[in-house]
Structure 1
């Protein structure tokens, strides 16, 4: 029996070695989100498709949970070709690719469908082209959800309900100015301090997407959640230009097709996760305001747009985004 066990182990080792040897090229892909997260699982789906279409010649190894570094660091490593691929938020690319800055404007997108239509059309192609001059190849646009307001005081059904309230926002000038334009007070602080700050009354609330509202436990201390969807920042999967240039034209096409396929996978996984979080917080007693007239909120953003959309090119891009059906 001992000999049989040893033989089985040897055969397993040979099989594993053979599988590893079949990968002529192994690409390393970074993600800060944990294993099982929609973006991670979507890149894994892309990897399976690439491996299948290249008969195992090209493999993509996904490193979740910031194993290779935080987003900013991994983007730089991808630019230099140290890492082959990276998944990161558009927001993290703001200092690298100026065109991405406009996607952090409040109420830029009317809905998730509108955002998809923009990214999947000519504008998405233009933005992808902008990455090329920064040693990055844009491969896929993923969902990062829509951010909405939640608070511990009362339901927010109209813009006046925000007056004087204190909301935690990320350390971002656009977000601070957004809150001021809405008549509220912005309080930038680390994400980990939000729960206790709402609980103790240091702030009245915060803003984030369904899964974050759920997983953070914020729904326990801020039960009023208003779906104003003021921010939808896309996620991007990008490849190092250096890695891309080392692939044949045929393999580039395989990777592009697999990346496009993974967009649908990620978007569905994200929608499923949102639904699960929504059901959980509703069952826990959260009060959801879904019917809201966004027009006054959008109108209030005029000074914010005037401040940050200053060049003719930026104004034209915003106009074309807003006109996309």
Structure 2
């Protein structure tokens, strides 16, 4: 989980962790920070309830723009945003939510408990940014959301049904979408076919950045993107954090032009030096920033279960 840390900035704002013994006069302006709620590694129910009461009693919730929920609202035993939804009439300015801001010491990413995100999206029709970390029990069974501009799912394994629902959702304002697809061992296993509406460009006309990341099937995704209609409207594309090999690199070079992109992120990859040079030579002269950092040498690793040909994804456990 080297890619997974407590977020320091969110929605363009510095993160401020609500202190357990805060005084109102010491708190920042409610709209100037992203508020992080976390009660430490071993809080009792009374501790977390007291933290929530103090936060909702001291902070002008109407001015809060960004909210981050850590432990214990999200942990290895489940997750809940019910308290936030219950105060929807006070969180009238809420624009961004981050669910499950936990590091490895608090929970393995595949065990962070999530849930059906439908009620949250329904409760906050003005929400612009949503980040969720985890995968266990995640679902996105909504037909759409009019104002969501950015959606990121950080996971060692997104449930395929959730990824399929996201791909099919009508999100007309969505500009950025990042899916850390993960492996079957941790609940992933999304197929290219399940992403078909997304690859076709359906339902997301404003999309400008697409990340299909952290997948052991990165070569198959590259082959699909080589002819996917959605690519033509993108400004940046990420196939990072996965098991991309020369097969996927060849697919990208042989497919539709990528010279309109501002950035192609292939970091954490298994490309040969020769393929790296070919990609760089084909795209950099056109002004495309090609991120080829984090090359992993296959022959440095022993073959293990889940490491096809010695390749592995960046975030699992």
TM superposition score normalised by structure 1: 0.25
TM superposition score normalised by structure 2: 0.26
Structure having the higher Rg: 1
Q: Would you tell me which structure has more helix in proportion to its own residues?
A: 1
Question: Larger relative CO (CA 8 A, sep 6+): 1 or 2?
Answer: 1
